[in-house]
Amino acid sequence: MSDADDIVKEFLVESYENLDRLDHDLIELEKHPSDREVLASVFRTIHTIKGTSGFLAFSQLEAVAHVGENLLARLRDGQLLLNPAITTALLTMVDAVRQMLGHIEKQGNEGEDDHTKLIASLTQLLQPGNEEKPAEPSGKRATKKTVNPTTQEKASPPAAEEGAAPPAVKAKAAAAGGTQVPAAEKSAEVRAEDASPHAGEPKPGTAAGPSASDSTIRVDVSLLDQLMNLVGELVLARNQILQFTNSTEESGLVATSQRLNLITSELQEGVMKTRMQPIGNIWGKFPRTVRDVALSCGKQVRIEMSGKETELDKTLIEAIKDPLTHLVRNAVDHGIEAPAARKAVGKDPEGRLFLHAYHEGGQVNIEISDDGAGLNQEKIRNKAIQKGLITADQTARMTEREIVNLIFLPGFSTAEKVTNVSGRGVGLDVVKTHIEKIGGTVDVQSKMGQGVMVRMKIPLTLAIIPALIVSNGGERYAIPQVSLQELVRLDGEQAHTGIEMIHGTPVYRLRGRLLPLVYLGRALGVEARPAASGNAPVRESVNVVVLEVEGRQFGLVVDEVNDTEEIVVKPLSKQLKTISIYAGATIMGDGKVALILDVPGLAHGARVLVQGREQTQPPAPAAAAGESGQTQKLVLFTGLADSRMAVPLSMLARLENIPGVQVERSGNQWVTQYRGQILPLIRVSHALEERRKLLPESDAQPLPSSGALQVLVLEHERQSFGLVVNQILDIVESSLEPKSPPTRTGVLFSCVIGDKVTELLDVPAILRGGETGKLAEAAEAGS
């Protein structure tokens, strides 16, 4: 009995997977009705379900799948052309199949639902006139097919159901030669492949890949979870051992622990990978969602995706599924206008919904943008005031971006009518809570008349996160890197004068913008407020950790910045859950416990998000650009002679200050020892040919012996190298519009960022050139 159960279970799992693909394929088909490959794939899926359900004696299921198959066969053979009516009928069939599968899973039978109507409508679409044709060219299997349509059309539907089962089983037995019948799915597969050569069809279903299933196995997720926990513990133990061996001379132990270190890292990576899933897994459902929603509100929407293969931890994938679906539905229902309205403003009547996922700085960014009407700021402002979420006074001081982000407040909805899709006022705040619960952030940008982009930033995984370790009052705290923007250190004179006061509230001028400061010690209540005089406390140096939350920046002043580390997040017990300033705890390499700070909680606690609003200037204007794809995050820096240059932030691994004494020479190349590896250093001034010609003397400078080098550690095609720059300026988000062609090699083009001409470097070209070979020769010839 349990054997049979197993077969049914396998059948269910496989069918569900197939159905998910089917939804996607059908939508795809609607766009390209003549794509035979997709058609063949759809046909195969339904065919497999039909075959297996026949074998397992689920006659209703088989009957439904069977008419679907007939219809698909016509489509595949080109005797019918796909139209919306057929697509809808097929989708309804998929739903019915799914429903029956659900019944089978729960109750072990197909349920009581009556599917005769569906069968009838599917049969009707077959058009009696075409019936005879498939019989002629397709041999054995087609014969079987023609039997059923005739019985169905002539006999009453229930009879058709009865009649459908035996032929399928017989056909299978015949094709599989009887011996293979017990292996249910296999025989169905075999039958499909076996039958087609006989039938002599142009596109046989042989493309079905059994190879994939041979090299994969199904594993229980809870087992993976358990493994993940164990690896987490192992990472902790490894950290402790490393710390211990640092203070020992025993070479054997050191070597072993280094090996342990390596293996642990690889193991961790491997286990993390087992839990990784491409985001395409959840996106696969969206074409169907979009189609349904668009149809129900009379709109035309085309969905486009990029970055489907971007991988995320399984738990995170599940956690973002609902919020994403919500946003997609919202975009179709509210974002994109009706075709007539679109035409009126000169847009393509078909709206475009664009999903984009990519990795950046150890996080996954997901953008959902539409080219609809955009958010109406006035409406949002009025609504927020009307609902008492915010005062008129406050809105007057808010930036555009802050206003559009009000839509994430609980109880907010501007939809004028409540549709069955969205607009009940619950939703966006729930989306936000869900995303924040998993340590992500969500932000919306809008341009009137041009569309809305919602951007989520999600950590790669939940259990182990990269974090910055800081100390305050002798205790260590971990700050998740998701919120980290940059680190600023004020030394000497600056430590006294750099921090100014606005009526007792400390601020720092960060590149001309006022950054509200929060003293960690005071936020935690372990350090007294400074004397009433309002002066900042006098320190040797001040470390400011610049954090961003909900699109707002603030500086956290800490005693010391230690290092970045991968930490294992441990939840806090219920006694401490109410303290919003902590996100959890972790155990450090020395076995001591450190607290993980919750940056949004910290910001709210310190009232940065409410009070600070009045004092901060809007973020860089470019950041409000509504269209995705055209804006990019860039690291700005200066080369020699203060010319401004930029590289994409996505290439940046770290910013480093490398002391000159640590620079060594290897051949003609500057190198440094960096995290146990040799990092080649490329001076930006040398990489660009022109500069090299202008400054031949720089060649004579051997190695910098004093001072420090500002280095961008970049990664390109898994290769790391350091770009030595004059000064690191800023990180900006800007649209990249080439204003002039490149003037020298190593430069892609020049553009204007923040009112200044900036050269965008061609990193691959620089990497190819290096500081050796051609460039050096050219320089010699030039000088």
Partner 1 sequence: MSNTRQFCTFYLDRLLFGVESQKIQEVAGYRELRPVPLAPPAVSGLMNLRGQVVVALELRKQLELSERPSTMTPVCLVVRGSGGEVCLLADEVGNVVEVDDDTFEPSPETLSPRLRSVILGVHKLEDQLMHVLDTDRACEVGAAGEGANET
Q: Is 42 in the site for partner 1 (CB under 8 A)?
A: no
Q: Is 545 in the site for partner 1 (CB under 8 A)?
A: no
Q: Is 228 in the site for partner 1 (CB under 8 A)?
A: no
Name the packing angle between helices 157-176 and 116-125 (round to 10°). Answer: 70
Contact (CB, 8 A) for 469 and 559: no
- Name the E strands within 286-440: 301-306, 311-313, 351-360, 363-370
Q: Of 408-416, 591-599, 677-685, 719-727, which part binds partner 1 (CB under 8 A)? A: 591-599
Q: HEC string of 269-284?
A: HHHHHHCEEECHHHHC
Q: Is 574 in the site for partner 1 (CB under 8 A)?
A: yes
Q: Is 503 in the site for partner 1 (CB under 8 A)?
A: no
Residue-wise DSSP of 586-610: EE-TTS-EEEEE-HHHHHHHTTTTT
For the segment 702-731, give every residue that binds partner 1 (CB under 8 A).
none
Q: Is 236 in the site for partner 1 (CB under 8 A)?
A: yes
Q: Is 398 in the site for partner 1 (CB under 8 A)?
A: no
Q: Is 81 in the site for partner 1 (CB under 8 A)?
A: no
Q: Is 587 in the site for partner 1 (CB under 8 A)?
A: yes
Please pick, from the candidates 159, 418, 593, 703, the single residue that binds partner 1 as defined by CB under 8 A. Answer: 593
CA–CA separation, 323 and 626 (whole Å): 21
Q: Closest CB to partner 1 among 226 and 296? A: 226
For the segment 341-370, give every residue that binds partner 1 (CB under 8 A).
none
Q: Is 779 in the site for partner 1 (CB under 8 A)?
A: no
Residues in the interface with partner 1 (CB under 8 A) total 37
Q: Which SS3 state, helix, strand or coil, does residue 568 take?
A: strand
Q: Closest CB to partner 1 among 143 and 240? A: 240
Instruction: For residue 537, give the amino acid letter.
Output: P
Q: List the x/- string, 445-484, binding to partner 1 by CB under 8 A.
A: ------------------------------x---------
Please pick, from the candidates 31, 489, 607, 716, the single residue that binds partner 1 as defined by CB under 8 A. Answer: 607
733's CB contacts (< 8 A; 6+ apart) are 620, 622, 623, 625, 631, 632, 633, 634
Q: Is 594 in the site for partner 1 (CB under 8 A)?
A: yes
**Could you identify the residue written with the tokens 């052309």?**
81
In whole angstroms, the minimum distance from the beta carbon of 176 to partner 1 comes to 54
CA–CA separation, 311 and 309 (whole Å): 6
223's CB contacts (< 8 A; 6+ apart) are none
CA-based nearest residue to 375, from 345, 336, 404? 404
CA–CA separation, 513 and 619 (whole Å): 9
**Cβ neighbours, 10 Å, residue 533:** 7
Please pick, from the candidates 283, 519, 637, 721, the single residue that binds partner 1 as defined by CB under 8 A. Answer: 519
CA–CA separation, 539 and 491 (whole Å): 9
Q: Is 585 in the site for partner 1 (CB under 8 A)?
A: yes
Contact (CB, 8 A) for 63 and 164: yes
Q: Is 575 in the site for partner 1 (CB under 8 A)?
A: yes
For the segment 552-571, give every residue that binds partner 1 (CB under 8 A).
570
CA–CA separation, 669 and 687 (whole Å): 12
Q: Of 4-12, 282-290, 456-464, 604-612, which part binds partner 1 (CB under 8 A)? A: 604-612
In whole angstroms, the minimum distance from the beta carbon of 616 to partner 1 comes to 14
Q: Closest CB to partner 1 among 117 and 592? A: 592
DSSP 618: P
Q: Of 274-282, 379-387, 602-610, 633-641, which part binds partner 1 (CB under 8 A)? A: 602-610
**Cβ neighbours, 10 Å, residue 66:** 32
Rule CB under 8 A: which residues touch partner 1? 233, 236-237, 475, 505, 518-519, 522-526, 529, 570, 572-576, 578-582, 585-587, 591-595, 605-608, 611
